[in-house]
Amino acid sequence: MSLHSGESREDYLEAILVLKEKKGMVRSIDVATHMGFTKASVSRAMSLLREAQLVTVDKEGWIQLTPAGQALAEQVYDRHTTLTRFLVDLGVEQATAEADACRIEHVIAPETFEKIKDWVRQH
């Protein structure tokens, strides 16, 4: 997956956020394992995310989201979890709902997402 797409960038940031919440600290190997990518691919992605000032990587290899990276990761994660819940509430099987939410989260219009989010809050 190329980091040239916004979708890929968002997927990496979301993965870092999720792993950080689970493990506390995150390295490239954790991201590679989580996403099913090679360490080399993740290293390249981390380099591009550093250039975009969305992450920092210290000399020991620990990855931190910058404030901008954290904000974007939280936004993507909110879309993912809200869409997953919405689809499950409609009767979609959990694994299918999560996979579909991962695709939808990158292309959904803000207005549409807000309407779905409102619906999920009410139900």
What CATH code is carried by the domain that includes residue 93? Answer: 1.10.60.10
Cα separation, 114 vs 123, in Å, equals: 14
Q: Are residues 10 and 49 in the same domain?
A: yes
Q: Using the CB atoms, write b or e for 53-73: b if 16+ within 10 Å.
A: ebbebeeeeebebeeebbebb
DSSP 8-class letter at 93: -
Answer whether residue 115 is part of any domain: yes
pTM of the entire predicted model: 0.88
Q: Are residues 57 and 84 in the same domain?
A: no
Asked if the model's pLDDT at residue 37 lies above 60, the reply is: yes
Answer whether residue 100 is part of any domain: yes
Answer whether residue 20 is part of any domain: yes
Q: Are residues 92 and 56 in the same domain?
A: no
In tens, the pLDDT along 57-94 reads: 999 999 999 999 999 999 999 999 999 999 999 999 99
Domain span holding position 45: 6-66
